Amino acid sequence: MKRDFLRLSDFTASEYTALFRRAAELKAARASGQIVRTLTAKTLLLLFEKNSTRTRLSFEAAIGQLGGTAITLPMQESQVSRGETLADTAAVASRYVDAIVYRTHGDDRLRELAKSATVPVINGLSDGGHPVQILADLFTVTERFGSLRGRIIAWVGDGASNMALSWIEAAPIFGFTLRISAPEGFRPPKAGIFETVNDPSVAVRGAHVVTTDVWVSMGQEKEAAERKRAFSGYCVDEALLGRALPEAIVLHCLPAHRGEEITAGVLDGPRSAVLDEAENRMHVQKALLEALLLRR
């Protein structure tokens, strides 16, 4: 039976330990020039309803470096844009490819496609979460600190965003303390194990990781002015970062708007791990593709 990766809870903590171990092996192999061809002749479909840079590049590179092939299909170029159902698209695509990455809006669409596909489906981003990005973030933290358990991670910004929701889902699985600092009206639902801290300077105090995301996500462009006013005071700048631990790192899933949710000095500074984080998308996704396609 096929296995999907739609949410972080689709894997267990022990499975993530093995996944990160394999990601580290694959990263080391690439750094040393070793060729790994575990997915030779496998084909991955990237089905996108939203624009993408890192998700597209990292998955195309991941499957390619493992010996497989990627097909990227923007939804506006597919028959779905002319009324074909997701169910029909998933059923037909399953006859052609070995796995599907779906980047969409509502999670109902994600579940609908996964239900009709007979091959593994991976959530490449949805309104309810961005699990492949969070995997890269978590792996980056383990590289720096050795373990996630007992660490303090401070999220500053939109606490109801898909990234924040995935951090909330991750906290009990990986055993870290999550503090979310967001303005009124942009706080997460009550469900989950996390601390809500109104003042960002209090949220980051003693934190190992400070992370944020854009204030205006895809599809929210009409709310840009309102959101920028609401998030005034929630910028990750040098003064805010100075309240975190001296060894703290900064994460941002990118793209970033320098001078809004984060300053250029922090994003491009010595405590920023954003480029490692971006690279790690590829290594973690290699391990994820192996796990789903090879049943590792």
Q: 158: burial class by Cβ within 10 Å (0-12, 13-18, 19+)?
A: buried
Q: What is the DSSP string of 65-118?
A: HTT-EEEEEEGGGSGGGGT--HHHHHHHHHHH-SEEEEE-S-HHHHHHHHHH-S
How far is C-alpha 215 from the geometric centre of its chain's CA atoms? 16
Asked if 140 contacts 273 with a C-beta cutoff of 8 angstroms, the reply is: yes
- And the tokens for 26? 């694959």
User: Whose CA is closest to 258, among 272, 248, 247?
Assistant: 272
Q: What amino acid positions are annotated as catalytic residues?
A: 103, 130, 133, 213, 253, 281
Mention every residue, 6+ apart, whose C-beta is less than 8 A from residue 174. 13, 16, 138, 148, 149
- And the tokens for 128? 């309810």
Q: Kindly report the length of the chain.
A: 296
